[in-house]
Structure 1
Amino acid sequence: MRVVLSTYGSRGDVEPLLGLAVRLRELGADVRLCAPPDEEFAAGAAALGVPLVPVGEAVRPLVTGAVSAPTDFPTRVARLTAESYEAVLGQVAAGGVVVATGLFPSAAGARAAAEKAGAGYVYAALQPTVLPSPHHPPFRYPGRPAPPEGADHTKLWELDVESMNALFGGAVNAHRASVGLPTVANVRDHVLTGRPWLATDPVLAPWRPPADLDVVQTGAWLLPDPRPLPAGLTAFLDAGEPPVHVGFGSMPMRGAEDVARLAVEQVRAAGRRVVVGRGWADLSAGGNTAPDDCFVVGEVNHRALFARVAAVVHHGGAGTTTAAALAGAPQLVVPQMVDQPYWAGRVAELGIGAVHDTAVPTAESAAGALRAVLAPGIRERAAAVAAGIRTDGAEAAARLLVDRS
């Protein structure tokens, strides 16, 4: 059975599909990954023996470089839709299945390729708020009209159809027509389908009924990571009390250096050592690159590292939130955009950390948030929640896919 996994986005969009690919291969499936051609993604796929089919441009230079002009948006939507379609169509076969996630135009192109090839199609959400529900509002797209004051979530999701059609409908339908497929009146629901999958843990990010969609929640798709921590990092961890980890993953955070510097200063002021995760923002320890109380790391086994820290300060990405929760580490979330406020809210609701209410902390606000996350009882609560988190989500999803054949 050929399964084509399709995405376009940052590490948080690619790594879950690699986790699913590992489980599919264990069940004997033939797997292809259509994803951005970033060197780190290609290397990760190659190490697992998963063929990576490049889609479009590398993502890291796009998100860390200059911000694109709004006038470029329609062109970028059309290009990504077509690039994803061509990549998936070149790999999928009739009777196979396409699993799509990532940026909406990419998923739209993957869906069109599945239709053209006569293959099955599954849309997979990596966080609940992308799926219509009366329990949460849709993401508000920049440049779209403000919603009516007092509108409930159901009304906001109805307006979201209009926004999605306005932003993506023209390019998606033009592409569909160009490849001999019928146009669709509601591009959002066509791509999401009436039975999407939700690849999140039911404890961390539950799907709450009632809702119109028949959502299949599989659990989070975790990529096994057997790597030991680097010797230098292990020596640093062994040399004193557990440090605080500060990192923002694949977020560019164009003011990240200032945010990270402030966080590091407050961690030190609290008498704690710090581990700085370099990430896509290329963070550092500030002016002193190798102080005794600070260690800068690149790509490491997060779950192993987080099990040894006093707290994790991060942006609220799905992958980092899940890794920290699995490790039982208290979390201080400084959300920046899209789904990150949702994950920050879940951390607060579960009592496993604290949330900084604004994207750019001050010295006073950062110090207060750090005190909250290091308060007695938070670690015990985080450990209790960790014990209930499932680790078999990718295996469950893989079995569902194989059973379709």
Structure 2
Amino acid sequence: MSGPINYVSCAVLWLGLAVKAPDLARHWRDPYLRAICAVLALAGLCFLLGAPPTVGAVNRLSGIPNLAAPLTYASITAYSAASQLLVVYWRGGPQVHRTACRWIAAYTGVLLGVAVMFALGDAPVERRTDLDTYYATTPFLAEMIVLYLAGHLAAAGVTAVSSLRWARQVDGRLRVGLTMLGTGALCSAGYSVSKLTAVTARWCGADWSRLGTTVSPVAAGLGALLTVTGILIPLAWPRVTEWRRSRRTYARLSPLERELDELLTRRSLRLPRPRWATPATRLVWLRTSIHNALGHLDAYFDRDLYEQVRESALRETDDAGRAESVAWAAVVAAAVEAERRRERPLEPLEPCDEIDLLSVRALGPATLVDIADALATSALVASARVRGRTTHTGTA
């Protein structure tokens, strides 16, 4: 895999880590969250250390030929352990901490073995992309290579089996995430299998080094992408669902905002529009602006009109909820026209502690959406708007 691809992959993974970092800072005691961040951090580190330019820089700065190799192998081993710990904490259970400690102990041994074998071995010739096959027959280095590949293959295999088996027992976003995680683990296993195949071929006198330099990097990159996607889907799904719901609600409120737009502008009732805000934040801004306008119109609401339109809509639809929304929409449309033609209401309302049926305090988020729908579709609302234009036109 080329250097630019490695660096882009690393940047994407660490971007995901940056998104989760605030949660980790707030809940750093959560082992599940720590495992997620560890997987993201170590997956990015694997790509960073495995890039040929980084390999050359590490070897040159350290003065030790091929020092980048054990560092890369150590990061791959740690990533394998973190992936397995994530599945353990994700699934939970009464023995979760004991199982996690066993995996940590096992892969700590692998890390120590990689370090010891590299120290005992002799690798004087720098190899940036094919060290595995080049030193496959060198004492101690061969054992180091097999040790880290076996550890990675074991973790990938266990993760794949556990995730795909568990995915059949659940549904929804968790099933999607587990399926992606298991598929990613299978692809990651392809990295180890291709490397081990090339090493075995080297033992047998054949040269299959292209498996280690072409197939394994692709398998590793695809596996990391699918694994991280599988991790993030269950976490991001609720937020994405909320964003989609907020966008739909925002769009459905547009007719009500257009009805109140002139009033909001003329009376300076609209709050400053938020920039670079989430859909949920923009929806809050829109609802606040609408409530400001309706609060200004509260004294102009015509209770007689409300009852008339409600009764007419009830006869047409036989739906009490729909009839109330149509009546509210008619009252709002008429009030907008009435307010535009007079500076103050004819009869200001007296303060009231109880929630009046025809009061802005009685309007919830769902009711606002229904009113907006009625504004866009009901003929009774259009008639009320005309009535607002013609009633009391001579009153100041």
Could you tell me the TM-score, scaled by structure 1's length?
Answer: 0.24
Bigger share in strand: 1
Larger Rg: 2
Could you tell me the TM-score, scaled by structure 2's length?
Answer: 0.25
